[in-house]
Amino acid sequence: MFSFPSPLYAITPDLADTHRLLALVESALVGGVKLLQYRDKISPMPVMLTRGRALASLCHQYGAKLIVNDDVVLAVACGADGVHLGGADGSVHDARRLLPPSTIIGASCYNDLTLAQQAVAAGASYVAFGTCFDSPTKPAARKVSLQQLANFRQALGNEVAICGIGGITLDNVDTLDGKVDAVALISELFGTADHPATPEYVCDRVRQFMAEPLVA
């Protein structure tokens, strides 16, 4: 069964500047990130392919794994270690059938236990629930409560690794202890368009999260 190499799961922000993106990611890897998701909602496919290959190389240089969001073909083309599928990104069953057995496949399950159970049955390596708290990345996203997360953890047991996503900060991460195996972070690590992070901040932020009980 898949287990997260670290309970801190970093997800790339939408940045037009590839050099800056790679610099921020490298700082996160220096800080200790072992699992990175390449999520890109703004770039054309040729740019995404170039970035994906560069990120895969960078991750592997630091002993980390790269997951590509949304796109099985892109994940294969850039040499990623896995793919993360949302509700409209194709089926876990098809991805598992097409990809090598060692491929990590994640599934967004929002606040729906049935979706998670279906994903597990289809071969998902991990399932992601969220948004756990108000999220600047997806302000209109469906919410999952702490009680739901506790119930989902009990229902799924140790069948599959569980990730929490959405609005997670240093101030609230401890409330997820025992409910999830990893926390996915975007703006909390990399900043926002209005308040962009520096490489030094990213590295320091990763290390602060690594000191938290859930992550340590």
The identity of residue 66, as a single letter, is: L
CB-based contact 171:211 (threshold 8 Å): no
| pLDDT at residue 214, as a whole number | 77
Q: What distance in Å separates the CA atoms of residue 13 and residue 47, rounded to the nearest whole number?
A: 15
CB-based contact 83:103 (threshold 8 Å): yes
| pLDDT at residue 213, as a whole number | 78
pLDDT for 154 beyond 90: yes
Give the pLDDT band (50/70/90) at residue 194: confident
- Angstrom CA distances, 69 to 18, 80, 155, stand at 17, 10, 26
What predicted TM-score, i.e. pTM, was given to this entire model?
Answer: 0.95
CATH class of 8-210: alpha beta
Domain boundaries in the chain?
A: 8-210
CB-based contact 161:7 (threshold 8 Å): no
Q: What is the mean pLDDT of residues 190-195?
A: 86
The identity of residue 15, as a single letter, is: L
pLDDT for 26 beyond 90: yes
Window from 8-22, 159-173, 190-204 with minimum mean pLDDT: 190-204
CB-based contact 91:110 (threshold 8 Å): no
| pLDDT at residue 215, as a whole number | 67
Nearest to 125 by CA among 90, 91, 161: 161
pLDDT for 71 beyond 90: yes
**What is the pLDDT of the chain when averaged over all its residues?**
94
Window from 9-23, 33-47, 50-64, 131-145 with minimum mean pLDDT: 131-145
Runs of H (alpha helix) within 101-216? 113-122, 146-156, 187-190, 199-210
CB-based contact 28:206 (threshold 8 Å): yes
Nearest to 36 by CA among 106, 116, 101, 119: 106
